[in-house]
Each structure stands twice: as structure tokens, then as C-alpha cells.
Chains A and B, each alone.
Chain A
Amino acid sequence: MHFTRFSIAAAALTALAACAPPGQSASSEANATGPIKIANVNAQSGQLSSLGQWEHKGVKLAVDEANKAGGINGRQIKLDLFDDQGDPTVGTNLARKIASEGYIAMLGTAESAVTLAMSPILKDAKIPSITSGQSPKLAELKSPFMFLNAPTSVTFDETLAEYLVDDKGYKDIALISNNGAYGAGEHDAFLAALKTRNVTPLADEVVTPDQKDFNANLAKIREQDPEVLFIGAEEVQSGLIAKQARELGVKAVFAGGAPVGTDVYATTAGLENAEGTVVSSPYLSNEASEEIKAFAAKYKAAYNEEARMHVAKAYDGASILIEALKQTCGEGGQKLADAIRGVKRAGLLGNYAYDANGVGIHETKIGLLKDGKVVPEAAS
């Protein structure tokens, strides 16, 4: 362990030593001048475009700051945005494009399914990427060139189950989740977390990502009268489920990952229906810490809208990449991947320390929705 740390530090030092100002050393690298090309791939159109736009704004904020501060060793970062439309097929085409056009790193995407499709191509091209996806499948790829800027569903749901079952003593738990990449990941992770605690769910309803009417599923759940309803779906669908569940008279406490901590969830469900929802997330609110408050203010000044987790994690991811690029003097490939793995950063989402699977954050926090805002739950 110490040895690896040492070797990373040594590698970083050698890299720094090689970072002579341009013109002073007869560098053998031909591409060490001109801007450093980084691709940002995120959905800018289609159903997931709101996620993609937030992610892009977060990335852009970090890159703009770095460029203003002098860039990487005097070289500016050129950030180019590509629209994957939330579609894995478009994603694979973009991955090939990025590889052929000399981008040395990729930030994105916000969709696990798209990132999963792109990853093999980027791995072959030795292009490191930092994704905003959080499906456990991303970590299972074990690609040395892929890094996550958030915990995976396993972490989200382990923390959630610990709070619900161990701390609060709930045993009557029902699940409703969709079978998309995110929902299925949530479902499996939460079910596994329940299993280790010997809790069998009262109901386990699976819906499709496009479904809007949950009367049938929720009526079945209502018959079991659970204490907790775990919702594993994206923001809007989670909100619709919560709303229809309350209309049907389901009294259970709602619980879920990051999507149920958003204003989209709260307004879709209706503030009254969303009240008390248990959220497991590494980024609970814009007021959670001094650093986050400062970041939220900076973000608001730049874009005139409120910051949120997607923005913060994209910012964290881009900052980590920039830090790594400084160590490699803008060089990409294996060297950059190793440098990213070596970055230890106290970020907005927590303390980043990458493991062999590319996961950097290993814990989340619990919050409760009050009046549409997440209030951190005091650690017990």
C-alpha cells in the first residue's frame, strides 16, 4: 500500500520535473504546445438533456477557472461539447470521433447506459474519462481508464439500508424501481443491502422507464401496508410514483438515492407528498458546508440558477482531471490515468480516493426532505 502511494508520488514528481516551461528544454514531445483538447460528452437534447446541461455547466465552470488561472503549464484547455442525446448508439459514434480527433480525456456522460457503451472504445484508445454515471456496472467494467465522480448505487443504498433498518428499525419495506440502467442498479443494490440485514421486502414492483400510471403497482404495494417504500427511478418518475402513492393512500416513508433529493422530484410529487422522504446522497444541499456554499454562490453568479448535485459532481470530476493534467504536463494516455488515480481531493461530494475500479467516493450522507429542501439528518 505504502509502496503504491510512494510510486504514485514518485511518478508525479518525475512528471513535475519534466514540466519545464516551454522553450527551455528540448522536449521530445511533439504535441506539448497548443491547447489541450478535452471532450465533454453529455445529452443536450432528448429526455435526459437537463442532466446533460447541468453536467456541462459544472465542467465548464471548472475549466474556465483553470484557464483563467493560466491553464496547464501555460497551455489553455480547449473544452468541446458533444451531444450524445442520451443514446448509447450516438455515444459509441462519439467515442470513436473523440479517439480519432486527438482528445486526450473525456468528461461525461451523465447516463450510465451511454458511458457503458462508450467505455470499451475509450479504453482501447487509452483515453481516460471521468463519468457522472453511478451504475455499479461501471465499476464492474474495471477499466483502468474510467473513473466515476460519484459513488455507485451500492454505496448509496448501503448507507440508506443502514439508516432505515439498523438505525430506525424498519422491517416492512417495499420496493418499486424501473428496469433502466439506473433503476435496475438501484434495485439490485438496495435488495442486496437488505439481504445482508436479513430483511425480505414485502413487495418488489418493477416498472418501465417510460411508465406514467402506477396505480396497479401501487395498489399491490398498498395491500402490504409497508413502513418504507424504496423508489429506484429517475427524478420525474420518482416524483410521479410518490404523488400517485399518496393519492392511493400509501402511508409509507419514501426513500431513495440522489434523485429524490432534487426539486424536480419534490415539485413533481407535490411538496406535501414528498415531505419526509429519506435521501441518500453525497451532496445533500447547497448549504451543507462552507465550501459548498461558496461553490453554489459562484455557480449562481456564473449561470443565474441554483447549483445541484449534478453540477457539483461534474465540477469535482473536471477539477480532478485538471489536477491530474497539471501533474502530467498535459500528457494523456496511461500516464494521465495513473495521475487521476493518484489524485486525493477534498471535493464537494466528499473526499476522493480512487480504488482499482475507478470509484473515488465511498460514502454518502442521509437527509430528509422538508418543504422541498433536503435537511441533513444528524448522524446517530
Chain B
Amino acid sequence: MQVFLQTLIGGVTFGAVYALVAMGFSIVYRTMGLVNFAHGSVVMIGAYAASTFYMASKLPFAVAVLVAITVTALIGLVIERFLRPLENKDFTLMLIGTIGFGAVLEAGAVLVWGATGHAVPSPVATGPIDLAGVRIPTYSLLVIAVAAAATGLLALFLQRTKRGAAMQAVAMDHQAATAVGIHVGRSNAMAFAIGAGLAALAGSLIGPMLYVNPTMGGTLGIKGFAAAMLGGFGSMPGAIVGGLAFGLLDSFAAGNFQEYSELVTFLVFAVIVMIRPTGIFGETTVNRA
């Protein structure tokens, strides 16, 4: 039982981060119909930005995270600006463009921070909470809380604000949205910026749990992408459920299948996607590709 609960805690913590990464993928996809392959690298830049500000300037961690979100949101805007001429013209080139940006960001990180990477001290000093032998690291609680808060804020923005509603409209039918006077380019830019900001949040949260280096985005990107697929690509609740499900799947597979865990995780994932190609919360409205 203790092993089960401990596995659950590990799974939920990483699941929360995967959910944030998946939400970033999804918000760009639902708005533009585009898979942003640079997303994993943006997560990495976010992790670097937050940890560098945090460790070098002794700023409180929360401030460092906000700085990181701003920096990466700007990167998101730049990526979107480069891709805009291709919007609705050449979809494949746009996809390849995002892959290229991913490589550029990774190479840029090596130039700025070096290839070695650095470990980030935990911003929460208190020890783990002991609940009847099950240990919950306080930092895990923070990660889960911040991820939940970010999800809530994003849902509010999409449903309660004019700009959010405009983005929803673009997601559903960009031609109709243009017809009613919504600036599609601006919506896309905002989707990219929010996506990058979410990536930065995920990156800054995972930094102290892992080791920040230029290639850390690879695995996180793939797992976040898989989580988004599992939940239903383009769906925000799907991203959350998919992220948590993927985190749990990963951690229980690690406990039960040892070195075959990755194989089992992705096999289960493949089977689920075969049975339900649209994922758990698949939406048919977002099919512009």
C-alpha cells in the first residue's frame, strides 16, 4: 500500500508538469492547427531562464518564474512572427519551421549556458511531509498547486474574456472568425505566447526537480506531446487529464516493469490512441490540418 501511494505521488507530481507542457501544445494546436515542435525546447529555455535568474540574482523563485515566463512568451511571439507568412499557405513548412526553431533554441542554450547544465537548489527548504510512512515532498505540493492555479487562470481567460473568446472562435473556424472582425494573426500570436509561457512555467517548476541542461526539453517535449494526444489534442481539459494519466502510467510502469517501463508506457499509449484516435476528450472542431 505504501509503495502504491508513494508511486501515486511521484506520478501526480510529474503528471502535473506534463499537463502544463501538454496545455502549451494544445493551445497552439487548437488555435492554429499546428503542432509546435519547438515546444520542448521552449520548456528548456524556461527552465534555464528561471533557474539562472533565481540562482544569480537571488530573486524569490516566484519572481524568477515570472521573468522566465515573460522571456519565453517573447520567444513565442518571435516564432509566430516568423511563421505568419506561411499561415494558410504551406502547412508542412510551418511544421518544419517549428522543428528548426527547436534546434536553434537548443544550440542557443549551448552557446549561452554551455553544454554542461546545472542543478537547481529547491526553493522550498522544508523537508517532506510524512503521512503514515508515505512521504510527500513539499516542493511536489507546490508544483501541483501552481499547475492547478495556472490551469484555472487559463480557463478563466479563455471563457470569460473577450480576447479569450476570440481565440476560441479562431480555434473553431478561422474564416468565420475573420468575417466577424477577429484578427487571426493576433490570436495566433497570443496562442504562441501563452503556449510558450506555459512551457516556461513547466520548465521552471521542473528545474529544481531535475537537472537543467540544453537537451532536457527532448524527453519532456515527447512526454508532454504524448500526454496531449492521450487527452485529446487541442482540448484543454484533455491536456490536464492526459498529463496526469501519462505521469501515473509512467510511474506505475517504472515500478512494475523495471527496464521495460518505457516500452510498456508507450505500448499502452499506442493501444489507447488506436482505440480512441481522438484521445479522451477529442474534439472534432479543431481539424484544420
Contact = CB atoms under 8 A, between A and B. Distances in A.
A232 interface: no
A270 B121 contact: yes
A223 B2 contact: yes
Contacts of A214: 10, 254
B90 interface: no
A207 B110 contact: no
B262 interface: yes
B287 to A, nearest CB: 32
Given A50-B115, A210-B262, A217-B258, 18 more contacts: A44-B115, A45-B115, A178-B259, A205-B258, A207-B259, A207-B261, A208-B259, A211-B262, A213-B11, A213-B254, A214-B10, A217-B255, A219-B3, A219-B255, A220-B3, A222-B2, A223-B3, A249-B130
A211 B261 contact: yes
| Main SS at interface, chain B | helix
A236 B254 contact: no
Contacts of B52: none
B6 A219 contact: yes
Interface of B: 2-3, 6-7, 9-11, 13-14, 110, 115-119, 121-122, 128, 130, 135, 137, 209-211, 213-215, 218-219, 247, 250-252, 254-256, 258-259, 261-262
A222 B134 CA distance: 11
B116 A215 contact: no
Given A208-B261, A268-B211, A213 B3 contact: no
A73 interface: no
Given A49-B115, A267-B119, A268-B119, A215 B261 contact: no
A216 B6 contact: yes
Of A47, A206, A210, A216, chain B has the most CB atoms within 10 Å of the CB of A216
A210 B253 CA distance: 14
List 10 A-B pairs, minimum CB-CB distance, nearest first. Answer: A215-B10, A216-B255, A219-B6, A267-B119, A179-B259, A216-B7, A49-B115, A50-B116, A219-B3, A268-B119
A240 interface: yes
Nearest to A235: B211
A239 B7 contact: no
A218 B128 CA distance: 15
Given A206-B258, A215-B10, A247-B135, A240 B210 contact: yes
19 contacts: A47-B213, A49-B214, A50-B116, A206-B258, A211-B254, A211-B262, A212-B210, A213-B14, A214-B254, A215-B251, A219-B6, A222-B2, A236-B210, A236-B211, A239-B211, A247-B135, A264-B119, A268-B119, A270-B122
A239 B119 contact: yes
Nearest to A220: B3
B6 A248 contact: yes
Contacts of A270: 119, 121-122
Interface in A255-307: 264, 267-268, 270
B255 A220 contact: yes
Contact of B252 (A178, A179, A206, A216): A216
Contacts of A50: 115-117, 213
Nearest to A52: B115
Interface string A165-183: 0000000000000110000
B105 to A, nearest CB: 14
A357 B207 CA distance: 42
A70 interface: no
Nearest to B117: A50
A213 B9 CA distance: 10
A53 interface: yes
Given A47-B215, A216-B7, A249-B130, A206 B259 contact: yes
Given A207-B259, A240-B210, A46 B128 contact: no
A368 B209 CA distance: 25
Contact of A264 (B211, B218, B254, B261): B211
A250 to B, nearest CB: 10
Contacts of B256: 216
Of the candidates A214, A217, A270, the one having the most CB atoms from chain B within 10 angstroms of its own CB is: A217
A50 B215 CA distance: 11
Contacts of A179: 259
A247 B252 contact: no
A46 B254 contact: no
A212 B223 CA distance: 12
Nearest to A237: B211
A215 B256 CA distance: 12
Contact of B2 (A44, A49, A53, A219): A219
A213 B254 CA distance: 8
B235 to A, nearest CB: 25
Nearest to A236: B211
Interface string A146-157: 000000000000
Contacts of B117: 50, 236, 264
Contacts of A244: 10
A373 B211 CA distance: 19
B165 to A, nearest CB: 38
Nearest to A187: B259
Contacts of B247: 213
B258 A207 contact: yes
Contacts of A210: 219, 262
A244 B9 CA distance: 12
A338 B143 CA distance: 58
A208 B11 contact: no
A222 B9 CA distance: 15
A266 to B, nearest CB: 8
Interface centre among B6, B14, B128 (most CB of A within 10 A): B6
Nearest to A50: B116
A215 B258 contact: no
A50 B212 CA distance: 13
A44 B110 CA distance: 10
Nearest to B2: A219
A208 B255 contact: no
